[in-house]
Structure 1
Amino acid sequence: MAESGTFQPRPLDRSAPFYVAGHRGLVGSAIWRNLEAEGFTNLVGRASSDLDLKDRDAVFSFFSLVQPRYVVLAAAKVGGILANNTYPVDFLSENLRIQVNVLDAAREFGVERLLFLGSSCIYPKFAEQPIREDSLLTGHLEPTNDAYAIAKIAGIMHIQAVRRQYGLPWISAMPTNLYGPGDNFSPEGSHVLPALIRRYDEAARAGTQVVTNWGSGTPRREFLHVDDMAAACLHLMEHYDGPSQVNVGTGKDVTIRELASLVADAVGYSGEILWDTSKPDGTPRKLLDVSKLAEAGWSASIGLEEGIKSTVAWYRDNLLSVRG
């Protein structure tokens, strides 16, 4: 086994078994599309109905059968402020089990290169902006999603521990707020951007004259199209090796009020927009420092306005299935 630090990133073997955990989710499906476009011919995915990643024995049996050489761990229980705040036990317990089972099985069966996907919510609520990777564990988390964040932090620590103890060149990437085809548009479980798309699209269709959004509209957020995120994942697997997680974002942010305006324009809503300040805002600002990503030779290419328009088009084309 190679000593930690001697591994040199290189192009991945396009014919080797490559397991994408969570291949039907927002991130996993984008990674799958990108890998197909990049010439990978032995992609492996399992629906949750076929493989419950919370079932340790089932996960080990799967890895024994498939023997993947590469893995992206994109499977996770995810949700917006409301879901995270209402079901913290579910977000903590389910994500910890998924991560431990997949990472332990990957080590047991000799996975060469693995990328663990976290979330920018791992960083302290009042971290200095833009947020650097070394801000991790330097302050208190946002309380509305601290359980989910703790699970993701545990995943980062697991990757670092595997590197130290076994010398495996596994890495972690921390995406900013993601959006795009395959997103969750449900009223209960969606994040802010898909929630706004659904709300404004329904208002535009119904001729509603007033739309009310949660919070003040003043928090600032960064948004990355999921196809950009997928491209960044492959780039990191082929060009980066190190114990630190890598922030993946655009390096630019907007206020939620500005975001709402972009969405309203994209769907053709021209009514009044109100803000319910009795509802929580969450973290006041969350912008990632993407210097490490830039040093690795990658930057985002899909602009926010362009990305929102294409996501609205996808949502409308898939209206029946996303509402189901």
Structure 2
Amino acid sequence: MDKNARIFVAGHRGLVGSAIVRRLQAEGYDNLLLRTSNELDLRDQAAVVSFFEQERPEYVFLAAAKVGGIVANNSYPADFIYDNLMIEANVIHSAWRSGVTKLLFLGSTCIYPKLAPQPIREEYLLTGPLEPTNEPYAVAKIAGITMCRSYNRQFGTRFISAMPTNLYGPGDNFDLQNSHVLPALIRKFHEAKIAAAPTVTIWGTGSPYREFVHVDDVADASLFLMRNHEGNDIVNIGSGEEITIRDLALLVKKAIGFEGELVFDTSKPDGTPRKLSDVSRLHSLGWRHRIGLEEGVRATYGWYMDNNMSR
């Protein structure tokens, strides 16, 4: 990509989009097209068509999406499928119509079957039933992948798709009601430390394994794929490393300096026993993650301290 290329980062204020903007700016790309959702509602077809006709972006990072945890997905399934279908349909279609050079569509590893073999390879897509709690979101993301492939086949576009695993980092959601496990643990341990609480309660047994990748690594991989990957093959973005929830809690406890004990509430569900992405395709292209989990958690806690009221 030329340093002066017109680059549209859709969803630039979200966790992934903001990291992509940081990465592009660090690399010297300064002709970025950025619009808030108030300035450009990506669910509005006419507005998206008008934006692409006027601005003529050459490259598109499609990181805009309606996202949330289990509670949000269970409570608003219609919102999750409608908003995500509209966003990707409008952006991908307008990208083709306006002659975009290349587009990267970002999804999630939740697109894979609930009981997919581990580690999860890209070819396991559509080989079994999805996890019911986030099926509307996953179906929308699968539709986005299929759109990219279909436009490539029919129109010769260069639209690629990548599926990040569990993300964390600066800009994350730390709300205890609807955040994901890692930011929730950071906030829990921080508040327990401030209150000098004797214990922190963790849901479940602590035995499930999870994989995490820092959002700055995902942004770096996204730029790498935009430069180096072509074709219809989706690519997992992850660390390829897993950790139990118990060990993750101990790691967060250490990073934050909480002195109390862990209590596991085994009446609460554990969820899927293991969810690890196979990242051999990404490794074969020449990219590996750089930010270790302990280093990343410390940096994310620093960001939380700088950007939240509770100290």
Contact persistence 1:252–1:287 (CA under 8 A): yes
Q: In 2, Cα distance between the equivalents of 1:301 and 1:220?
A: 21
CA contact under 8 A between 1:80 and 1:192: conserved in structure 2? no
Whichever residue aligns with residue 54 of structure 2, its letter is L
**Offset of residue 67 of structure 1:** 0.5
Q: Distance in 2 between matches of 1:281 and 1:110?
A: 47
1:25 aligns with 2:14: yes
For residue 235 of structure 1, give the secondary structure of its aligned residue in structure 2: helix
The answer to whether the Cα contact below 8 Å between 1:83 and 1:188 also exists between their aligned partners in 2 is: no
Alignment match, 1:268: 257
Distance 2:43 2:171 in 1: 23
- 1:41 aligned partner: 30
Matches within 5 A, 1:1-80: 12-80=1-69
Partner deviation per Cα, 1:127-160 (whole Å, 9 max, x = no partner) = 1111100000111111221111111111111111
2:130 to 118, 141, 166: 141
| In structure 1, distance between residues paired with 2:136 and 2:177 | 18
Divergent runs of 4+, >6 A: none
Deviation by residue 1:185-236 (Cα, 9 ceiling, x = unmatched): 1122211111111111111111111222222222211100011110101111
1:103 to 66, 87, 92: 92
Residue 170 (str. 1) matches residue 144 (str. 2)? no
1: CA distance between counterparts of 2:187 and 2:258? 12
Deviation at 1:265, TM superposition (A): 1.0
Counterpart residue number, 1:312:
301
What residue identity is the alignment partner of 2:104? L
Residue aligned with 2:236, SS: strand
What letter corresponds to residue 250 of structure 2 in structure 1?
Answer: S
**Superposition deviation, residue 126 in structure 1:** 1.3
Could you list the runs of 5+ residues in structure 2 that have no partner in the other structure? none
User: What residue number does 1:9 align with?
Assistant: none
Contact map agreement 1:19 1:68 (CA 8 A) in 2 = yes
Give 1:224-235 correspondences, 5 Å limit: 224-235=213-224
Q: Distance in 2 between matches of 1:198 and 1:77?
A: 23
Q: Secondary structure at the match of 2:262?
A: strand
Question: Match of 1:180?
Answer: 169
Distance 1:35 1:255 in 2: 33
Q: Paired residue for 2:199?
A: 210
Contact 1:17/1:69 (8 A) holds in 2: yes
Structure 1, 83-92 or 165-174: larger mean CA deviation: 83-92
CA distance in 1, matches of 2:99, 2:269: 45
Residues 17-42 of structure 1, C-alpha deviation per residue, up to 9 Å, x if partnerless?
10000001110000000001111120
* 1:140 aligned partner, one-letter code: P
- Tell me what 1:5 maps to: none
Q: Which amino acid aligns with 1:307?
A: G
Q: Say whether the 8 Å CA contact 1:142–1:283 is kept in structure 2.
A: no
What RMSD, in angstroms, separates the aligned Cα atoms of the two structures? 1.2
Q: What is the SS of the residue equivalent to 1:222?
A: strand
Q: Matched residues in 1 for 2:164 and 2:266: separation?
A: 28
Q: Which amino acid letter does the alignment assign opposite residue 174 of structure 2?
A: F
In 2, the alpha carbon distance for the partners of 1:124 and 1:293 equals 20
Identity %: 60
Tell me the distance in 1 between the aligned counterparts of 2:117 and 2:180.
23
Q: In the alignment, what sits opposite 1:283?
A: 272
Cα displacement (A) at 1:102: 1.0
Secondary structure of 2:299's partner?
A: helix
Q: Matched residues in 2 for 1:83 and 1:280: separation?
A: 17
Alignment match, 1:222: 211
